[in-house]
Amino acid sequence: MSATAFVAAASARNGGLRRFASQEALLAVAVIGLAIVVGFINPRFLAARNLSDLLLGNAYIAIAAVGMSMVIISGNIDISVGALIGVLATLSGSMAVAGIPTVLCWLTPLIFGLSVMAAQGAVVAYLRIPAIVVTLGMMSILKGGLISVTGGRWITDLPQDFHLADRNIYGVPMPVAIMVVATALAALWMRYSAAGRAIYATGGNAEAARLCGVNPQRTVVMVFALHGLFAGIAALVYATQLRVIQSTTPPGLELTVITASVVGGVSILGGVGTVVGSTLAAILIAEITSALVFINVSPYWTDAVRGALILATVIADIVRRQRRAARGWKR
């Protein structure tokens, strides 16, 4: 049996249509269900303006979660993405203020993000240092380096046409369009291309994948590179939304992104999950944050409630998966 066909068959059983329908559907139901419930309590929540603001303001998290999901599915993790996004945003903004053509300012974070992450991927794959160590160290380097270089100075005075996130494409706001397109392309690529399915294979069982002709090292480098690309796109959306770019690392961003991936059904054991799930989860988490304000939860308790909801979602997902396994599904 050819390597690709084998991998295809394996992942079709593992990540097949059935499961795609289940976890992602659960999240979609949660997103819609919560909106309806909150809408009863405060109808302003369902205003088109509010829903669109919700998506606009948090699209960058979903985009970053696409790349993060890929990394986690391949059996690794990345803690440096928050710091990287801070660096890329500052880079892009500084270039714009310096008068460099806008399109270059948009492309540079993508290329830079891709390179930095690919380098980390290479260290993980070829030097066999655990991803958590490499990315933990890289996070420190990026965080400190950013302050060292910029002196903490904010970037104001951005040229008007820098603000990509303010534009619309066929009437859809750019951040939302990018989020949808990125998720769709990534999801299709991961399911239908050999390289994409190699990610699942590497995460599920690297040795078995190698025996099937998949090159785990190259796959890991590729995954990190893609993750860097998506981080660059997320940084772009993040940087072009407001008139000020803080040249510091957005606090807690990596944890938010990882949580989105995890709630989206990506298993930390590798080999399981989809990027559609992580996008829906990112939307859900943002929705919960907004909903808590709308239904007047005391601001002292919002974090606790959100934490409880995340915990409940995660436990429900795991329990559901176990029920499946007990009934004869593979995972």
Partner 1 sequence: MSLAAMKPARPLPRWLARHETLLAAILIVALIALGSFNEVFLTPDNLLNQGRFMTETGLIALPMTFVIITGGIDLSVGAIVGLCAIMLGYSWKTFGFPLPLAIIFALGVGALAGFMNGLVITRLKVPPLIMTIATLALYRGLAEGVSQAHSVRGYPDWFYFLGQGSVFGVPTQLLILIVLIIAAGVALDRTTFGRTLYAIGANETAARFSALSVDRTKLIIYTLSGLASGLAAFVLVSRVTTTRMDMGMGYELDVIAAVVLGGTSIFGGSGTIWGTVIGLVMIQLLKNGLALTGVKGDATIVVIGGALILSVLIASSLQRRRE
Partner 2 sequence: MKSSYLVTTIAVAFAATIWAQGANAASKWDGADDLPTNPLGCEAGATATFAPMKYDGGQPTNPPDKAGKEINLVDVPKLIGIGYFNATSKGMQDAAKELGNVKVTTDGPTEAKIDEQIKFIDNYITRGVDGVLFAANDPVAIAPVLKKALSKGIHVVGYDANSTPDAREWFVNQAEFNGIAKAMMDSMAKEIGEDGSFAIVTSTFTTPNQARWIAEMSAYAAKCHPKMKWLETVEAQEDNNLSFNQATTLINKYGDNLKGLFGMTSVATPASAEAVTKAGLCGKVAVVGLATPNAMKPYVQSDCVKSVVLWNPVDLGYAATYVMRAVVDHKLKPGDASVEAGKLGKLNVVNGSEILLGPPFIYNKENIDKFNF
- Helix 48-73 with 253-263: angle, nearest 10 deg: 80
Site string for partner 1, 132-151 (x = CB under 8 A): xxx-xxxxxxxxxxxxx---
Closest approach, Cβ 107 to partner 2, in A, equals 22
Q: Minimum distance from CB of 314 to partner 1 (Å)? A: 5
Query: Which of partner 1, partner 2, none lies near 45, with the C-beta cut-off 5 to 8 A by kind?
Result: partner 2
Nearest to 60 by CA among 241, 218, 198: 241
Q: What 3-state class would DSSP assign to 48?
A: helix
286 binds partner 1 (CB under 8 A): no
Is residue 318 near partner 2 by the rule CB under 8 A? no
Number of residues that bind partner 2 (CB under 8 A): 64
Could you count the other beta carbons within 10 Å of the beta carbon of residue 211?
A: 11
Say if strands 172-173 and 168-169 run parallel, antiparallel, or are unpaired: antiparallel
CB nearer to partner 2: pick between 9 and 37: 37
Question: Using the 8-state DSSP alphabet, how is residue 294 labeled?
Answer: H
- Report the residue number, 143 or 191, with the smaller CB distance to partner 2: 143
If the CB atoms of residues 78 and 287 are measured against partner 2, the closer one turns out to be: 287
Reference 147, options 93, 83, 228; nearest CA is 83
* Cβ closest to partner 1, residue 219 vs residue 261: 261
Q: Which is nearer to partner 1, 19 or 321 (CB)?
A: 321
193/155 Cα distance (integer angstroms): 41
CB of 271 to partner 1, least distance (A): 13
How far apart, in whole angstroms, are the C-alpha atoms of residue 150 and residue 113? 18
Gap between the Cα atoms of 48 and 128, Å rounded:
49
Q: Which residue has the tokens 């090292």?
A: 217
Q: Of 248-267, which residues contact partner 1 (CB under 8 A)? A: 255, 258-259, 262, 267
Segment near partner 2 (CB under 8 A), from 177-185, 216-224, 243-251, 269-277?
243-251
The correct pick among 8, 147, 208, 314 for binding partner 2 (CB under 8 A) is 147
Q: Smallest gap, in angstroms, from Cβ of residue 122 to partner 1?
A: 12
CA distance 157 to 140: 29
Quote the tokens at residue 257.
């992104």
Give Cβ neighbours of residue 119 (< 8 Å, ≥ 6 apart). Answer: none
From 16, 101, 130, 144, residue interacting with partner 2 (rule: CB under 8 A): 144
Q: How far apart are CA 189 and CA 170, in angstroms?
A: 24
Q: Which does 134 bind (CB under 5 to 8 A by kind): partner 2, partner 1, none?
A: partner 1
Binding-site string for partner 2 from residue 273 to residue 312, where x marks contact by CB under 8 A and - marks none: -------------x--xxxxxxxxxxxxx--xx--xx--x
38 binds, among partner 2, partner 1, none (CB under 5 to 8 A by kind): partner 2
Residues 163-202 that bind partner 1 (CB under 8 A): none
> 32: which 2 tokens?
């819609």
CA dihedral of 120, 121, 127, 133, whole degrees rounded to 10: 60
Nearest residue to 36 via CA among 310, 308, 173, 28 = 28
- Contact footprint for partner 2 (CB under 8 A): 22, 25-26, 29-30, 33-34, 37-38, 41-42, 44-45, 47, 49-50, 53, 57-58, 60, 143-144, 147, 150-154, 156-157, 238, 241-252, 286, 289-301, 304-305, 308-309, 312, 316, 320
